[in-house]
Amino acid sequence: MNRRRSRRLRRRLAVIAVYAPVLAYAAAIIVPLYYLLVSAFKTNTEIALDPLGLPDVLNFDKFAQANRSVELLAASGNSLFTALGSVVVTIALAAPAAHGIAKRAGAFSTFAQLLFGLAFLIPQFAVIVPTYLLAVRTGLIQVPLVFLILFYAAMNMPVAVLLLIPFFRAIPKEIEESAELDGAGALARMRHVLMPIVTPGLSTVAVLCFLAAWNEYIFAQVMTNSSSYTVQVALPLLRSEGAFQGANVDLGRLAAGVIISVIPVFVMYAILRRRLIDAFAAGAVKG
Amino acid sequence: MAEVTPALAWYGTFMVLPLLAMIVLSFFTWNSLVASPKPSGLENYRYLFEDEILRTATVNTIAYVGVGLALIIPMAFLLGFFLSRRPPGHAILSIIFFTPWIVSASARAMMFTGLYQPAGAVNSILSLVGLEDWGRLWLADPSTALWAVIATEAWAGIGSTAVIFSAALGRIPNEVYEAARLDGAGTWREIVSIAYPMSKDFVGLMTMLQFLWLFLGSAGTVLLLTKGGPGSNTMTLAFYLYDQAFISGRIGYSQAIAVAGLAVGLIGMGIIRYAFRTKE
């Protein structure tokens, strides 16, 4: 009797010992995000006096201020344009490549797949200077957002191809052959027969590529200027230079800016969370 | 072949050609875009060995990546194992832990700027529990700046890596654990003798990716949080490359740093590969 009770106590202690650090870390993620969210609706005095309390009224002044001082909405528009554009280019090139690799077994296919796998390990950042010089030499630096579209497409190419290969491999040969017998050309087969079947794969890849492009910071920082800032480049401008020497910032305004910049990705995450994680895990496995 | 070539060519134009250009440029002295580059042989490489800041940056990078990986990989693996066993609440916990991955580097840095600032949450919490003396300018204090930056990486890295680990560990069939339990294995044994050995390759791969993210991502994180300061306390190799190319305008020299960084990166990847080798 006594022994059973002590065993139960031990098990309960074990559960607490496991859950305590897990929940502490979960709190370390949630509390700062919550702090940011409520701060965006408060005055800076309210933030200082009652950091975690809910705001008394939903005050959108800080959002308006954040937008006015660094034109965050215009910058979000630039980001949206760049991210969508790069997704289109990525898919247009990656889908045929994945199809080619999936359907034609041979030395070239194996080699191409290996190259894209290795490409995972070529760090983009290492080539930031030559990439900048490429933009200058081709004159594309005059249209930074177009250059970013082309560049992000290249940056996302390996992961897009690798993720799409298994989707194309899963299509039975017969489907494509019968379309071929019906006289459909390669392009028509891709558009009307294959694309609809691999839509789940395409949408996952599209979302991953969109997120990567939307969130990219350092290349956008180097390429864009004040008339073409993306949202990631405009956001840090909300903080004064003095902050680097330890001055306080207008936290409410900064928080409002952060929220504007993360809304699109949170919406996508809410819709496609499961698929994203699976895709990421699978992509990482195959890399 | 016609289908695959455009994608390969696209990638090559933006990634492989620049890599070659980087190596060529490292042999030139080129201090302004409007000037023309002058060949200077090994001059840039010679200077690498004299450059005090580069030495600091190398030491900081090793600390940044080493401490980052030591924090992220083991904790993420344990957390991933925990989640993969589908304990009560695992679904909501997975959502929470993956959230930092979708927050951009820029948004994360702004959030931490708010937390670390003089009147920010970290100092408020410390004074709330009676530890005002510990309060400080976390990002401007030489003794804490580098660690404060690394903490932002761990904050984001542990959770997202854990969720990816749990997706991979979830593929281990339950029967394997049941059999082990019949043999009297406890949870710790399950982790050490089943979960880890069965996913060693995957852990190695994630370590490699995390290594690259920390090593190169430090450029953006440092630029956003500290710009290498105070002094050069948070200078890392990746940020120093950025600094030399785009702030100090020494384009040729920055490419010698890039080549050196590439060498350090390859050595790091070799070490990780060796550490996670599986016996054939």
Instruction: State pLDDT tens for residues B122-154.
Output: 888 888 888 888 888 898 889 999 999 999 999
* Residue scoring higher pLDDT (B148 or A247): B148
pLDDT at res. B272: 93
**Between B110, B167, B241, which is nearest A239 by CB?**
B110
Write out pLDDT tens, residues A140-172: 999 999 999 999 999 999 989 988 988 888 888
- Say what the pLDDT of residue A125 is: 85
Which is more confident, B35 or A166? A166
CA B244 to chain centre: 21
Query: Does the pLDDT value for residue A72 go beyond 70?
Result: yes
Of the candidates A28, A130, A215, which has its C-beta nearest B104's C-beta?
A: A215
Smallest CA–CA separation between B4 and chain A, in Å? 4
Q: Could you count the other beta carbons within 10 Å of the beta carbon of residue A120?
A: 18
A53 touches chain B (CB under 8 A): no
Neighbour count for residue A58 (Cβ, 10 Å)? 8
Residue B133 domain flag: no
Give dist(CA B194, CA B177) in Å, integer.
8
Which 194-223 residues of chain A touch chain B by CB within 8 A? 211, 214-218, 221-222
CB count within 10 Å of CB A162 equals: 24
Q: Answer whether B256 touches A (CB < 8 Å).
A: no
In a domain, B269, yes or no: yes
Domain count, chain B: 1
Q: What is the per-residue pLDDT for B32?
A: 80
Of A18, A36, A125, the CB nearest to B111: A36
Rounded Cα gap, residues B106 and A242, in angstroms:
18
What residue in B sits closest to A97 (Cα-Cα)? B4
In a domain, B196, yes or no: yes
Is pLDDT larger for residue B249 or for residue A179? B249
Under the banding of pLDDT at 50, 70 and 90, the label for residue A197 is: confident
- H or E stretch at B104: none
Cβ separation of A246 and B238 shorter than 8 Å?
A: no
Give the model's pLDDT for residue B223. 94
Q: What value does the mean pLDDT of chain B take?
A: 90
Residue B63, phi-psi category: left (phi > 0), alpha (psi -120 to 50), beta (remainder): alpha
Q: Where is average pLDDT lowest: B34-38, B83-87, B265-269? A: B34-38
B246: nearest CA in chain A? A222
- Is B103–A262 a contact, with Cβ atoms under 8 angstroms apart? yes
Closest residue in B to A37 (Cα–Cα): B111
How far is residue B248's CA from residue B241's CA, in Å, rounded to a whole number? 10
Task: Judge whether A258 and A235 are in contact, CB under 8 Å.
Answer: yes
Q: Does residue B247 lie within any of the structural domains?
A: yes
Contact B7 A96 (CB under 8 A): yes
Residue B256 located in a structural domain: yes
Distance between CA atoms of A256 and B111, rounded to whole angstroms? 11
Q: What pLDDT was estimated at residue A281?
A: 64
Residues in B 51-90 with any Cβ partner in A closer than 8 A: 79, 82
Q: Is A25 on the interface with B (CB under 8 A)?
A: yes
B279: closest CA of chain A, how far (Å): 19
Identify the band that residue B210 occupies on the pLDDT scale cut at 50, 70 and 90: very high
B5 vs A101: CA distance, rounded Å: 11
Which residue of A48, A121, A217 is in closest CB contact with B106? Answer: A217
A112 close to B (CB below 8 A): yes
Structural domain range at position B84: 46-103+144-275
- On the question of pLDDT at A104 being above 90, the answer is no
Nearest CB to B164; choose among A51, A235, A281:
A281
A106 touches chain B (CB under 8 A): no
Q: Give the whole-number percent of chain B exceeding pLDDT 90.
A: 51
Asked if the Cβ–Cβ distance from A154 to B209 is below 8 Å, we say no
* Residue A105: pLDDT over 80: no
Average per-residue pLDDT in chain A? 86
Pairing status of strand B38-39 against strand B28-29: antiparallel
Give the DSSP letter string of B216-275.
Answer: HHHHHHHHHHTTT-STTTT--HHHHHHIIIIIS--HHHHHHHHHHHHHHHHHHHHHHHHH
Residue B224 in domain: yes
CATH of domain A70-286: 1.10.3720.10
CATH of the domain at B216: 1.10.3720.10
What is the pLDDT, as a whole number, of residue B133?
82
Contact B79 A133 (CB under 8 A): no
Q: Is the pLDDT of residue A286 over 60?
A: no
Burial class, B121, CB count within 10 angstroms (exposed 0-12 / middle 13-18 / buried 19+): buried
Angle in degrees, 0-180, between the axes of helices A251-286 and A2-39, rounded to the nearest 10: 120
Please check whether residue B182 lies inside any domain of the structure.
yes
> For residue A135, which residues of chain B lie inside 8 Å, CB to CB?
none
Question: Does any CB of chain B come closer than 8 Å to the CB of residue A97?
Answer: yes
CB atoms within 10 A of CB A28: 15
